[in-house]
Amino acid sequence: MPSKKTEATASQWVLFKRILALAKFQRHWMIIAIILTIVQSVITAFQPYLYKTVIDEVIIPKQFQLLEKWALILLIWLIVQALLGFANSYLSESIAQSVILKLRQYIYDHLTRLKLSFYDKTPVGTAVTRSISDVQTITDLFSSGVITIAGDLIQIIVIMSCMFYMDVKLTLITLTVVPVLLFAANRFRKGIRDTFQDVRNQVAKLNAFLQERITGMQIVQLFNREKEEKRRFDQINQAHRDANIRSVYYYSIFFPIVEVLVAVSFALIVWYGSGSLVRGSIEFGELTAFIMFINLFFRPIRAIADRFNNIQMGIVAADRIFKLIDDVDNIEQTTEVAAPKFSGDVKFNHVWFAYQNEEWVLRDVSFHLPQGKTMAIVGATGSGKTTIASLVNQLYQQQKGDILLDDINIQSLNITSVRQQIALVLQDVFLFSGSVKDNIRLHNDDIDIQKMIDAARSIGAYEFIEKLPGGFDYNVMERGMTLSLGQRQLVSFIRALAFDPRIILLDEATSSIDTETEQLIQKAIDRLLENRTAIVIAHRLSTIAKADEILVLEKGEVKERGNHASLMAAGGHYAHLYETQIAE
């Protein structure tokens, strides 16, 4: 049986291969980058050898007529080295950025296809972190991870070969400190890995906290929670500082150790080398080259711990991203069968639904709403009214029973083609930051400006929009904050009407608005429901009384049905609800 450790390593290897596969479409550039890195490493590693030749064959034998030639060679060597360095970092960063672009597109696309139930379980911050910072971490893996490590290793091998070729004893002496260095590097790597995880967690906490407080600033200020919230923020902030200090601790201990080891290695070379120099077993240029080699040799070793961390963290980030991408259970499943143009007949047959497990929110709900009719749903808060509307649109899927549109099972149809014919106007209108026009059209080219203006006119909202600074180009801020609730509703009505749906689902807002807007909205609703099949979650008596049928819902069950007069006459739930809630 494989041990836990080898299993972990194996899966890391699988992950690593999968990350590389992400860059497959860039493989020609990858190969060029690797070749460039190899050439650059070799050129850099040979540099001391050039200096040795100049010292031993030009300067010491006083062959000054060769000096110009060698100066030129050295100059060209350095220029080539610099150019390669530039090409290399530019290329590897470009590869990394292209991979990132593709990965982000893929993640975003995936997020838009996920079922709403996924978002009920996942905090906004998490989805954002996956698509922004985790993806960024993978960039580092490409730009300063894989390719660079390959270059470093090659450089180390070339340098060691040169050194052994020049003087075996001197090389062995230089290498005596390497085991200690590797040991230190490994300890450093582990320490830094754990503290980096810590830092990342703390950053995520900071983000989540700030995001929520900024969104809910109104509540913080209204309830005078500033001090208390500041105290909680301080706590998170301090934890963040401590995590950062811990990681700095490892850096500040590791680098001095390396410096000391390099110095020891220098000292050994100088001590042993000068002896050899006196005895004449080594030439001066050779000794100089050795000292330069030591510098070149320790540079990649110093960085290698950091680079392994980049890879490690890239793998951790990739693991999280792949988990998100692979989660196909949450993807909305749909067929290719396009829905016909509906006449607008809606049926619920014994529908049961729960958001979680078996906590039924709808129990055995059945109704038949013929084409062009209006059904009002009434019931206490939390009785499942909004849920019914969400099911008609299949934002959630019922566990039992069928929903039929024009007698076709909705689940056998392509969901996009169904949603094109149903408009859902929510209780809580969400607007994107942008112009009123964009919020109405949602960048849909089928809705031209004239259609939009006609829709606004026909529900009587045109004047109100014209009065806004800039009219339809008026910029609504995030979540529509710069419009009043009533205005936001009117915008969402125009949006629904402009799409010209067959079926309309309207979740009336409960909040009271000024009488002028109220009248506007009443009129707008009447216009909206004309000639359409409509399910209205109603709070206004005017809307309820006009409905062809009223469905009375209690704790997810249909308790009564009928029209206003018959239900009042029956004196049951509806009559009670009417007296306590509707007719205030």
Ligand X SMILES: Nc1ncnc2c1ncn2[C@@H]1O[C@H](COP(=O)(O)OP(=O)(O)OP(=O)(O)O)[C@@H](O)[C@H]1O
Q: What does the binding site for Mg ion look like in residue numbers (CB under 5 A)?
A: 386
Tokens of 2: 């494989």
The residue sitting closest to Mg ion, measured at its beta carbon, is 386
**How many residues are present in the chain?**
584
Q: Count of CB atoms within 10 A of residue 564's CB?
A: 17
CB of 389 to ligand X, least distance (A): 8
Among 481, 359, 493, 372, which residue's Cα sits nearest to residue 425?
493
Residue 361: contacted member of ligand X, Mg ion, none (CB under 5 to 8 Å, by partner type): ligand X
d(CA 564, CA 429): 28
Q: Which stretch binds ligand X (CB under 6 A): 64-72, 385-393, 480-488, 566-574?
A: 385-393
Query: Which residue's CB is nearer to ligand X, number 277 or number 354?
Result: 354
398 binds ligand X per the rule CB under 6 A: no
Name 571's Cβ contacts closer than 8 Å, sequence gap at least 6: none
Q: How many residues make contact with ligand X (CB under 6 A)?
A: 12
Task: Please report which helix (H) or strand (E) contains residue 512, including its range.
Answer: none
User: Least distance in Å: CB of 122 to ligand X?
Assistant: 12
Stretch of 24-32, 139-147, 374-382, 521-529 contacting ligand X, by CB under 6 A: 374-382
Per-residue DSSP letter, 331: B
Tell whether residue 383 is a contact of ligand X (CB under 6 A).
yes
Tokens of 32: 């060029």
Q: How many CB atoms lie within 10 A of CB 151?
A: 23
At 434, list the tokens. 């942008």
Q: Which among 341, 262, 335 has a CA at the least distance from the CA of 302?
A: 262
Could you say which of Mg ion, ligand X, none residue 355 binds, taking C-beta under 5 to 8 angstroms by partner kind? Answer: ligand X
Distances from the Cα of 486 to the Cα of 504, 514, 516, 522, 582, angstroms: 19, 8, 10, 11, 19
Contact between 386 and ligand X by CB under 6 A: the answer reads: yes
Of the candidates 97, 335, 304, 88, the residue with the CA atom closest to the CA atom of residue 192: 304
Q: Is 543 in the site for ligand X (CB under 6 A)?
A: no
* Cβ-Cβ contacts under 8 Å for 552 (sequence gap 6 or more): 378, 379, 558, 559, 560, 561, 567, 572, 573, 574, 577
Residue 385 within binding range of ligand X, rule CB under 6 A: yes
Q: What is the distance between the alpha carbons of residues 521 and 514, in angstroms, rounded to a whole number?
A: 10
CB of 256 or CB of 382, closer to ligand X: 382
137 near ligand X (CB under 6 A): no
Nearer to Mg ion by Cβ, of 312 and 387: the residue is 387
- Of 308, 185, 314, 188, nearest to 247 by C-alpha is 188
Answer yes or no whether residue 145 interacts with ligand X by CB under 6 A: no
381 contact choice in ligand X, Mg ion, none (CB below 5 to 8 Å, kind-dependent): ligand X
- The number of C-alpha atoms within 13 Å of 55 and in the hemisphere containing its C-beta is 15
In the chain, the amino acid numbered 359 is E
By beta-carbon proximity to ligand X, the closer residue of 452 and 551 is 551
Nearest C-alpha neighbor of 25 from the set 111, 105, 121: 105
d(CA 426, CA 424): 6
Using CB under 6 A as the binding rule, whether residue 381 contacts ligand X is answered as yes
Interface residue with ligand X, options 256, 340, 382, 470 (CB under 6 A): 382
Closer residue to ligand X in complex, CB, 250/574: 574
Site for ligand X in 411-440 (CB under 6 A): 427
Distance CA 105, CA 45 (A): 41
- Cβ distance to ligand X smaller for residue 102 or 573: 573
Euclidean distance between CA atoms 355 and 565, whole angstroms: 34
Q: Which two tokens stand for residue 14?
A: 């699988």
Closest approach, Cβ 405 to Mg ion, in A, equals 22
Q: Which stretch binds ligand X (CB under 6 A): 148-156, 222-230, 323-331, 379-387?
A: 379-387
Beta strands in 16-162 (DSSP E): none
Contact flag: residue 384 with ligand X (CB under 6 A): yes
DSSP assignment letter at 359 = -
Q: Which does 379 bind (CB under 5 to 8 A by kind): ligand X, Mg ion, none?
A: ligand X
Nearer to ligand X, 41 or 374 (CB): 374
Considering only CA atoms, which of 396, 410, 425, 397 is closest in space to residue 342? 410
- In the list ligand X, Mg ion, none, the entry touching 387 (Cβ below 5 to 8 angstroms by class) is ligand X
Strand partners, 400: 352
Task: Select from 19, 91, 313, 361 the one that contacts ligand X (CB under 6 A).
Answer: 361
d(CA 250, CA 118): 39
Q: CB of 385: closest distance to Mg ion in angstroms?
A: 5
Q: Does 344 bind ligand X (CB under 6 A)?
A: no
Smaller CB separation from ligand X, 116 or 253: 116
Residue 322 interacting entry, from Mg ion, ligand X, none, C-beta within 5 to 8 Å by type? none
Q: Work out whether 489 is an interface residue with ligand X (CB under 6 A).
A: no
Helix crossing, 67-113 with 27-54: angle to 10°?
Answer: 160
Site for ligand X in 67-126 (CB under 6 A): 120
Judged by beta carbon distances under 5 to 8 A according to partner kind, the member of ligand X, Mg ion, none in contact with residue 92 is: none
Which residue lies nearer to ligand X by CB, 386 or 489?
386
379 binds ligand X (CB under 6 A): yes
| Minimum distance of Mg ion from residue 381's CB (angstroms) | 7
- Taking CB within 5 to 8 Å according to partner kind, which of Mg ion, ligand X, none is near residue 383? ligand X
**Among 92-100, 233-241, 376-384, 466-474, which window interacts with ligand X (CB under 6 A)?**
376-384
The residue within the footprint of ligand X, chosen from 51, 106, 272, 355 (CB under 6 A), is 355
- Please tell me whether residue 26 binds ligand X under the rule CB under 6 A: no
Q: How buried is residue 159: exposed, middle or buried, by Cβ count under 10 Å (0-12/13-18/19+)?
A: buried
Residues near ligand X, by CB under 6 A: 120, 355, 361, 379, 381-387, 427
